[in-house]
Amino acid sequence: MEGTIQCNANYVPLTPISFLERSAIVYSNKVSIIYNDVTYTWSQTHQRCIKLASSISQLGVSPHHVVAVLAPNIPAMYELHFGVPMSGAVLCTLNTRHDSSMVSLLLKHSDAKILFVDHELLDIAKGALEILSKSTAKLPLLVLILEGDAHPSVSPGTLIYENLISEGKLDFEVKRPKDEWDPISLNYTSGTTSSPKGVVYSHRGAYLNSLATILLNEMKSMPVYLWCVPMFHCNGWCLPWGIAAQGGANVCQRNVTAKGIFDNIFKHKVTHTGGAPTVLNSLINAPPDIRKPLPRKVVVMTGGAPPPPDVFFRMEELGFDLVHSYGLTETYGPGSICTWKPEWSSLSREEQAKKKSRQGVQHIGLEGLDIKDPVTMKSVPADAKTMGEVMFRGNTVMNGYLKDLKATQESFKGGWFRTGDLGVKHSDGYIELKDRSKDIIISGGENISTIELEGVIYSHPAVVEAAVVGRPDEYWGETPCAFVKLKEGHNATEEEIIQFCQKRLPRFMAPKTVVFADLPKTSTGKTQKYVLKEKAKAMGSLSKKKNTSRL
Ligand SMILES: Nc1ncnc2c1ncn2[C@@H]1O[C@H](COP(=O)(O)OP(=O)(O)OP(=O)(O)O)[C@@H](O)[C@H]1O
């Protein structure tokens, strides 16, 4: 409009780097990181990150180069979330469960210039570099993150993390993005359904999703956040940046165990944490000497996989306040929130849990979350029945897949980001996920939502975990096959589980096969259904072997 100008005074590229700079002033002597007997303040964290950025630049890394890290949730992992972007480079956090050959593939794909590695994962990194050396002469520099008395043998030229910090220059001029669309990080997807894809995040998206995540978690100033979500997964749902914005204390843990979580909650007066449903399951089912009632409410954000309705009220019985979010690596982690409505508080326990287990609506950083027919792009009716593809639109959707323009274009076809998830829309506008399109079971022409069926099996008192896949069938096409893990000291038969489901669901949805087994998981807490599908396939068709009258 007339009289306005866009200039440096009123238009600055958004970046989460500014959160750290502000916290170094507001919360300078307040705790930023706690890890075993190490504690830092926000002023120290700020200084360490500047020095880290300075050393990374000194090593010849230029803006937009990729810097990779293979480490659990330790202080260095947190600092790299700022130090790398402050050098202008792009942070690529690698899954700590990958083997050397996968790490070498991702290092090559991302063209990483440096690999920071935790001392416990050094052998994986060495193996990856050895594989890489067979196809390229340009290997990333290795920087070792040591802890305590660990002194593993390293090849000449390996750098040490703490040396980079101490040698870095405090007067280094932080490289802020020229454009807020500039990349801040590269996250590979979990690889649950295919090979991991390299998802590029921008400074703008990271800034907005951090703010949205603070709001989702209802975080006030100076929260105490216990790290259970791996920071390598969607940059810890953007919370390394979000906690900095609120001047919170980051309680880091190398390993995630139920005992560690309860101990840390008591010791550090934790206010917030987060984790995939499998982490919550480990808390609910922990032995009574570990599972203590909480001294005060702890907000837990869950997502990453479908949480069975039962998890909600069992967690709440322990004193946790559950926030349910849904999203993908492509949406910077959390993209939706099942916002609670006060009128639901008078519903029965079961109905409340059902409401909460829905995936909800987009968070405030996004413009749209809809269920659409993927061909016509028309929204499905809000009748809780008609299934369509879940689609997102807005500023916290990825820039694209690295070096895969075709996949990027396909995922954005029609002006929405296509998730590959199937869901329905309820009359109140909230969405509910029914399945991944690759997982839904089609039996005799009927769609069977594996998520819904798993939720019912999970509510059986003897069950600790359940996953359902389609078992190929000559007559029905597929029949539901449930893999069930029982609680320690509990028993149940195949027939009991089947009858339990038949009482609660339409008959065609009940499993026709039940296998008692441990469930294979990815490091981000998702069940590796492709492994179970192989097992179900190997069983052969049920119709041929059994009398189909039960079907
Ligand atoms: N709250 C939730 N409820 C149900 N499912 C969820 C929830 N949050 C995430 N998911 C599932 O996780 C998926 C996103 O997972 P992520 O981005 O980590 O990688 P991935 O899709 O498992 O990997 P790949 O694309 O390589 O197979 C979603 O598409 C959805 O199926």
C-alpha to C-alpha distance for 260 and 140, rounded to whole angstroms: 34
Atom of ligand 1 nearest to the CA of 420: 29
C-alpha to C-alpha distance for 158 and 437, rounded to whole angstroms: 45
Ligand 1 centroid–CA 168 distance in Å is 39
Ligand 1 centroid–CA 327 distance in Å is 7
Ligand 1 pocket test, candidate residues 189, 199, 357, 396, most atoms within 8 A of CB: 189
Q: Which helix (H) or strand (E) holds 356?
A: helix 349-356
* Spacing of C-alpha 85 from chain mean position: 21
Greater model confidence, 192 or 514: 514
Confidence band, pLDDT 50/70/90 cuts, at residue 79: very high
**Hey, whose CA ends up nearest to atom 26 of ligand 1?**
191
Q: Report pLDDT digits (tens) over 353-405.
A: 889 989 999 999 999 999 999 999 999 999 999 999 999 999 999 999 999 99
Q: Report pLDDT digits (tens) over 415-458.
A: 999 999 999 999 999 999 999 989 999 998 889 999 999 999 99
Confidence band, pLDDT 50/70/90 cuts, at residue 551: very low
* Concatenated DSSP letters of 43-61: HHHHHHHHHHHHHHHHTT-
Question: Is residue 101 predicted with pLDDT exceeding 90?
Answer: yes
How many residues are listed for the chain in this entry?
551
Confidence band, pLDDT 50/70/90 cuts, at residue 550: very low
Atom of ligand 1 nearest to the CA of 188: 26
Question: Is residue 85 predicted with pLDDT exceeding 50?
Answer: yes
**What class, spelled out in words, does domain 35-176 have in CATH?**
alpha beta
**Hey, whose CA ends up nearest to atom 13 of ligand 1?**
328
Confidence band, pLDDT 50/70/90 cuts, at residue 102: very high
**Hey, whose CA ends up nearest to atom 9 of ligand 1?**
304
Ligand 1 centroid–CA 466 distance in Å is 17
What are the residues facing 360 on neighbouring strands? 431
320, 346, 324: which is closest to 335 by C-alpha?
324
**Hey, whose CA ends up nearest to atom 11 of ligand 1?**
305
Query: Tokens for 9?
Result: 């005074």
Atom of ligand 1 nearest to the CA of 199: 17
Ligand 1 centroid–CA 304 distance in Å is 5
Ligand 1 pocket test, candidate residues 95, 326, 438, most atoms within 8 A of CB: 326
Atom of ligand 1 nearest to the CA of 436: 31
Atom of ligand 1 nearest to the CA of 197: 26
Ligand 1 centroid–CA 506 distance in Å is 27
Query: Widest CA span of the chain, in angstroms?
Result: 81
Integer Rg of the chain from CA:
24
CB neighbour list of residue 434: distance below 8 Å, 6 or more residues apart: 387, 422, 423, 424, 440, 447, 449, 451, 452
76, 63, 57: which is closest to 13 by C-alpha?
63
C-alpha to C-alpha distance for 252 and 238, rounded to whole angstroms: 15
Ligand 1 pocket test, candidate residues 190, 229, 337, most atoms within 8 A of CB: 190
Pocket of ligand 1 (CB under 6 A): 189-194, 196-197, 303-306, 326-329, 359, 419, 421, 433, 436, 524, 526
Whether 35-176 shares its CATH topology with 441-550 is answered no
Ligand 1 centroid–CA 337 distance in Å is 15
- What is 441-550's CATH topology? GMP Synthetase; Chain A, domain 3 (3.30.300)
Ligand 1 pocket test, candidate residues 195, 328, 330, 362, most atoms within 8 A of CB: 328
- Mean predicted lDDT score pLDDT of the chain: 94
Percent of the chain with pLDDT strictly greater than 70: 98
Atom of ligand 1 nearest to the CA of 330: 17
pLDDT of 402: 97
Atom of ligand 1 nearest to the CA of 359: 1
Ligand 1 centroid–CA 154 distance in Å is 37
* Concatenated DSSP letters of 167-197: HS-TT------SSTTSEEEEEE---SSSS--
Confidence band, pLDDT 50/70/90 cuts, at residue 332: very high
Question: Is residue 298 predicted with pLDDT exceeding 90?
Answer: yes
Amino acid (1-letter code) at residue 511? P
Cα atoms in the 13 Å half-sphere on the side-chain side of 35:
20
Question: Is residue 161 predicted with pLDDT exceeding 90?
Answer: yes
Question: Is residue 482 predicted with pLDDT exceeding 90?
Answer: yes
Q: Where are the domains of the chain?
A: 35-176, 218-299+314-322, 441-550
In this structure, are residues 180 and 203 in contact, taking their beta carbons and an 8 Å threshold? yes
Question: Is residue 541 predicted with pLDDT exceeding 90?
Answer: yes
Question: Is residue 340 predicted with pLDDT exceeding 70?
Answer: yes
pLDDT of 548: 46
pTM (two decimals): 0.92
Ligand 1 centroid–CA 433 distance in Å is 11
Ligand 1 centroid–CA 411 distance in Å is 15
Ligand 1 centroid–CA 92 distance in Å is 19
Confidence band, pLDDT 50/70/90 cuts, at residue 549: very low
Confidence band, pLDDT 50/70/90 cuts, at residue 192: low
pLDDT of 155: 80
Confidence band, pLDDT 50/70/90 cuts, at residue 170: very high
Ligand 1 centroid–CA 436 distance in Å is 8
Ligand 1 centroid–CA 34 distance in Å is 30
**Hey, whose CA ends up nearest to atom 4 of ligand 1?**
306
**Hey, whose CA ends up nearest to atom 22 of ligand 1?**
192
Question: Is residue 545 predicted with pLDDT exceeding 50?
Answer: yes
Return the CATH number of the domain spanning residue range 218-299+314-322. Answer: 3.40.50.980
pLDDT of 242: 98
CA distances 178 to 92, 114, 221, Å, are 20, 23, 29
* Burial class of residue 454, CB neighbours in 10 A (0-12, 13-18, 19+): buried
Ligand 1 centroid–CA 467 distance in Å is 15
Ligand 1 centroid–CA 305 distance in Å is 6
Q: Report pLDDT digits (tens) over 470-481.
A: 999 998 899 999
Ligand 1 centroid–CA 354 distance in Å is 20
